[in-house]
Amino acid sequence: MSTPGPIFVVGSMRSGSTMLRLILDSHPRIAIGAETGFMAALRGNKEIPNWKFGKGWYERLNWSEREFDDLLREFYGGLFRRYAADQGKPRWGEKTPFHTEHMVEMARIFPDAVFVGIARHPGAVASSLRKQFHYPFADAVSYWISTNLDLIRAGTVLGQRFVLCRYEDLVLDSEPVLREVMTFLDEPWSDMLLHHHEVQREKGAPRSAEGSTITRDAIDARRADSWTRAATLEDHNALESAIDVSRFLGYDPADPRVREPLTRPEASRLWTATGEDLAARLLGWDGDMDLQAAPHRLVIDASPEELAERLARAESALRRTRSRRSVRVSDAFRKVQHGRSIDDVRAAWAMLRG
C-alpha cells in the first residue's frame, strides 16, 4: 500500500493554522513540524533575480521545467520525509501562512499533495494581528480579505484536493470537524487528535510554537468570539469592507456567532467544504467578490514614518511588559546567575519579598 501524499495546511496568519498543525501532527501517522516557508526558497531556485537569463536559467543546461520540478520535489520532499521518519511517521506535511499564494504551484510540483485550509472570522484575525504584531486593524482586515481570496481562488482550482474548515467550528465542535478532515485525508480516526496538547508535551515539543501559540494549551471554545470584548466601533466599521468575502465563508461580520453552512444540501459533509463545494457556491453567488483583486500582503514595506510608528508601539508594549514586577524579579535573578555582585543578590531578594 502506497503512502498518501503530503498535507499542506494553509490559511491567513492568526487563523488558527498553528493549532491545526499541532492537532494533525498529533496523529500517529502524520508529522507536520514548524513552518518553513520553503516555497520562497523553491521559487528562488527557479529564478535568479536581476539577470536577463535568470528566469528558467536551468534551461540553458537543457533541463526542462518539468524535469527541474521533479528535482525540486525530490529535494524538498526529502527534507520533510526525513523529518517525518525521525518522528516514526510515514506521512509528512507543512504549514506556512503565506503559502496561500503558492497553492496552485505547490499542487503542480507535488501532484499527490492535498490541502487543508482554515478560515477564521475577519474580526478575530484583525484583532489578533493588532495585539500580536501591532498592525492597524483596517490594514489587517485588508490582509484577511486578500489572503482568503487566495484561499477561495486556489481551492476552487484544486477541487477535491482541497478542503476548508473554520476555526470557530473547530474549537466549538472539534470531533465532528476533525473526523471529516480525517476522512478527506484518508487517514484513520485517532483520539489523540483531541488531546494534541498532551501529545505535544509528552513528545517534548517546544512550549511556544510559531505565532506564540502555546503547544500545551488544549482546544478552547472560549476563543471563538473572545475578540469581540475588545472590539471598538471603529473596528466594526472597518469590518464592513470584508462583508462579501465574510458572507461567502458563512460569516456575519457583525455577529461572530452566525455561521452558515458552506456545503451543498446534498453533500455528505456538514462541517467542511471541498474546492468543488466552493466552486458550486460561487456559481450561485450574488455578492460582489472580485477573485482577481490585487493582493494585499502584510510585509515590511511601509514608509519610514509608518515603520517608526509601529516601532514606537512595539517599544511601548515592551516597556509595559518589562515594568511588571515578575519580569523585574526575573531580570534581577538572571544577573545573579551570571555572577553579578552581592548588591544584585540583595536587590533581587528585596523585590521577591516586597
Query: CA dist 123 to 97, 152, 242, 346, Å?
Result: 18, 19, 9, 48
pLDDT surpasses 60 at 309: yes
The mean per-residue pLDDT over the stretch 33-37 comes to 95
**Separation between Cα atoms, residue 220 and residue 180, nearest integer Å:** 20
Res 189 pLDDT > 90: yes
The β-bridge partners of 252 are 255
3-state secondary structure of 2: coil
What nine digits make up the cell of 50? 536581476
28-32, 153-157, 241-245, 304-308 — which is least confidently predicted?
304-308
Q: Can you say whether the dihedral through the CA atoms of 224, 225, 229, 231 is positive or negative?
A: positive
Q: What is the pLDDT of residue 103?
A: 97
In tens, the pLDDT along 103-150 reads: 999 999 999 999 999 999 999 999 999 998 899 999 999 999 999 999
Sign of the torsion angle spanned by Cα atoms 4, 276, 23, 299? positive
Which three cell numbers, joined as nine digits, stand for 122?
A: 475577519
Which distant-in-sequence residues (6+ apart) come within 8 Å of 182 by Cβ? Answer: 27, 188, 189, 190, 193
Q: Which of 114-118, 192-196, 282-286 has the lowest mean pLDDT?
A: 282-286
The structural domains of the chain, ordered by start, are 7-283 (3.40.50.300), 304-353 (no CATH)
Could you tell me the three cell numbers for 322? Answer: 518589562
- Interstrand relation of 251-252 and 255-259 (parallel, antiparallel or unpaired): antiparallel
Q: Which three cell numbers stand for residue 172?
A: 466549538
Can you say how many angstroms the Cα of residue 98 is from the centroid of all Cα atoms in its chain? Answer: 8
Are 196 and 22 spatial neighbours (Cβ–Cβ below 8 Å)? yes
Sequence-distant (6+) residues with CB within 8 A of 142 are 241, 296
Query: What distance in Å separates the CA atoms of residue 287 and residue 270, rounded to the nearest whole number?
Result: 23
Query: What is the separation of C-alpha 65 from the centre of its chain, rounded to a whole number of angstroms?
Result: 29
The alpha carbon of residue 342 and the mean position of all alpha carbons in its chain are separated, in whole angstroms, by: 47
The rounded distance, in Å, linking the Cα atoms of 10 and 115 is 7
DSSP state string for 75-86: HHHHHHHHHHHH
Alpha helices (H) in the chain, listed in sequence order: 17-25, 38-46, 65-86, 103-109, 122-133, 137-158, 167-172, 174-185, 196-202, 233-238, 243-248, 275-283, 304-322, 325-337, 342-353
- Report the alpha-carbon distance of residue 320 to residue 169 in Å, rounded: 35
Whether the model clears a pTM of 0.85, i.e. scores above it, the answer is no
**Greatest CA span in the chain, whole angstroms?**
75
The alpha helices in 113-242, defined as continuous H runs, are 122-133, 137-158, 167-172, 174-185, 196-202, 233-238
What average pLDDT does range 75-96 have in this prediction? 97
Instruction: Determine which of 5-19, 45-59, 107-121, 290-304 has the lowest per-residue pLDDT on average.
Output: 290-304
pLDDT band at 324 (very low <50, low <70, confident <90, very high): low
Q: Are 94 and 82 in contact (CB under 8 A)?
A: no
